[in-house]
């Protein structure tokens, strides 16, 4: 299926690794020109080279701290006119209320929660002036299945879910769509990092992190590519009547009883 994305321009944050990298590759395969943002220049350069070796699209990389509001606004200005924004950057640490102190909580939300909000604000204004655009937020399952051992992430994700629904409900008046995906466990370095933290807290042994994977649907975590496929569809004109919607990608975990 042609998704109608050829020669569109997209910004993907957190675009150097994991889900963000997979989204970038999937968009490039559809002929979409890219801006990729993340903290580390070397990681961005590696993804740019990978995409350049496979697809005939332009790729511009931006090494930027997305927890800084001024840097976010400068990034939006540097990217120019965008058709698509994929908010994906952010790594909220695991831990319960006592483990996540105020500075840690604020730093995590500055990147993911306020990073998404600030970049959406800046890009939305440009999209409104252009008369079209789509914003896709990659959030996380904890927003709908809160977990006291991931309390900062659960609370932040729930906020971003409501942000998506509120903005996405209004956005069609400006010919803009705002949607989101909620991935469950995805086989990335970040998944291992979080599960190691949980294994340390639960068992006193980080090496037991794989025990948390034993009861997953289909016997495995999702792949980054499976999440990326949904993101790219939602970003495309094929999803032109979808706004304010959050797609859960968890193999059915959120629908399990108990």
CA angle 202, 226, 119 (to 5 degrees): 85
pLDDT of residue 152: 98
How many structural domains compose the chain?
Answer: 1
Structural domain boundaries, residue 54: 9-186+222-248
pLDDT of residue 191: 82
- Is residue 254 assigned to a domain? no
- Is residue 170 assigned to a domain? yes
Percent of the chain with pLDDT over 90: 86
In the predicted structure, residue 114 carries a pLDDT above the cut 90: yes
What pLDDT, in 10s, does the model give residues 62-113? Answer: 999 999 999 999 999 999 999 999 999 998 998 999 999 999 999 999 999 9
CATH number at residue 18: 3.40.50.720
Please tell me the least confidently modeled range out of 54-68, 165-179, 199-213. Answer: 199-213
pLDDT of residue 91: 84
- Is residue 3 assigned to a domain? no
Q: From 244, 247, 228, select the one nearest 171 (Cα to Cα).
A: 244
Please give the Cα distance from 237 to 84 (Å, whole number).
Answer: 11
Please give the Cα distance from 97 to 180 (Å, whole number).
Answer: 27
- Is residue 31 assigned to a domain? yes
pLDDT of residue 198: 82
Please give the Cα distance from 42 to 222 (Å, whole number).
Answer: 27
In the predicted structure, residue 257 carries a pLDDT above the cut 80: no
In the predicted structure, residue 249 carries a pLDDT above the cut 80: yes
Catalytically active residues are 150
């Amino acid at each position: 299926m042609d998704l109608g994305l050829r020669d569109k321009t997209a910004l993907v944050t957190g675009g150097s690794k994991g889900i963000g990298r997979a989204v970038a590759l999937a968009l490039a395969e559809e002929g979409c020109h890219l801006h990729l943002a993340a903290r580390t220049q070397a990681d961005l350069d590696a993804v740019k080279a990978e995409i350049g070796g496979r697809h005939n699209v332009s790729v511009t990389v931006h090494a930027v701290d997305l927890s800084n509001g001024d840097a976010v606004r400068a990034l939006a200005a540097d990217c120019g006119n965008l058709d698509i924004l994929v908010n994906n950057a952010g790594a909220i640490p695991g831990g319960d209320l006592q483990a996540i102190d105020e500075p840690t909580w604020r730093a995590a939300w500055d990147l993911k929660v306020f990073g998404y909000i600030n970049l959406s604000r800046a890009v939305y204004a440009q999209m409104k002036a252009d008369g079209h655009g789509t914003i896709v937020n990659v959030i996380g399952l904890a927003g709908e299945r809160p977990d006291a051992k991931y309390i900062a992430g659960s609370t932040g994700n729930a906020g971003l879910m409501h942000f998506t629904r509120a903005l996405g409900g209004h956005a069609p008046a400006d010919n803009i769509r705002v949607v989101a995906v909620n991935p469950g466990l995805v086989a990335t370095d970040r998944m291992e990092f979080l599960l190691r933290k949980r294994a340390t807290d639960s068992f006193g042994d980080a090496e037991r992190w794989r025990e948390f994977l034993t009861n997953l649907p289909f016997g495995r975590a999702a792949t980054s590519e499976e999440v990326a496929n949904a993101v790219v569809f939602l970003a495309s004109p094929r999803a032109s009547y979808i706004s304010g919607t959050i797609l859960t990608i968890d193999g059915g975990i959120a629908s399990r009883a108990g």
